[in-house]
Amino acid sequence: MENDKDDDDDKLYSVEEILELQEKDEEPIRLAVEEVLLPSLEGEALELGRKLADTYGAYNLYAATQGISSLLHRYLIRHPEHQIEWYANDSVSVADVGVVIGQEDLVLEVARFTDLWDDESGAPIKDVFKMVRWVWMAMKSQPRLLPYFIAKAESDFFLYKFSLTKVDAKDRIDDPRQRWRRSPSKQS
């Protein structure tokens, strides 16, 4: 089988080639963050988002949203009857249950998706906490920031929170550029 098409699968790639291919794959997402997501934000969310993108790359902001959304989605697969709320203190709670996902869980998931670990300690770098905070702040301008959820800002006494409603698979918008481009007034 000299002309077998699977022969290309046996090609060995150098690390440089792998990184180049990865960068090429990430380019549309990076552009969506830079051209659509960041310009749609305001105030502190915009300022912090730009700073984090400049330091760690725009793709990692996307990866942070994916990590958090994935963690929350997995929780709801196990507990579909729960309505989750994400509080300003970076804890995710369920009424009558309490905290179900803490700040540390969110930070670890974002570090896992962004690969931002401290080489010496093996712990997430400190700015991963800022990325989690940024995701929470960005939901105010972008209710569909997370692919599996629609966020609704609410106030619970003195605590500010987001009620997160799971999006049905048929209604989910997987293309971040399209999801973020939609007017917030049309997203509820």
pLDDT of residue 141: 93
List all residues 6 or more positions away from 33 whose beta carbon is below 8 Å from its beta carbon: 53, 58, 59, 61, 62, 176
- pTM of the entire structure? 0.84
CB 53 within 8 A of CB 134: no
Residue 15 has pLDDT above 90, yes or no: no
Which two tokens mark 128? 């991963």
pLDDT tens-digit map of 84-137: 999 988 899 998 888 999 999 999 999 999 999 999 999 999 999 999 999 999
- Band the pLDDT of 5: cuts 50, 70, 90: low
Average pLDDT over residues 168-181: 90
Which residues are bridge partners to 163 per DSSP? 85, 152
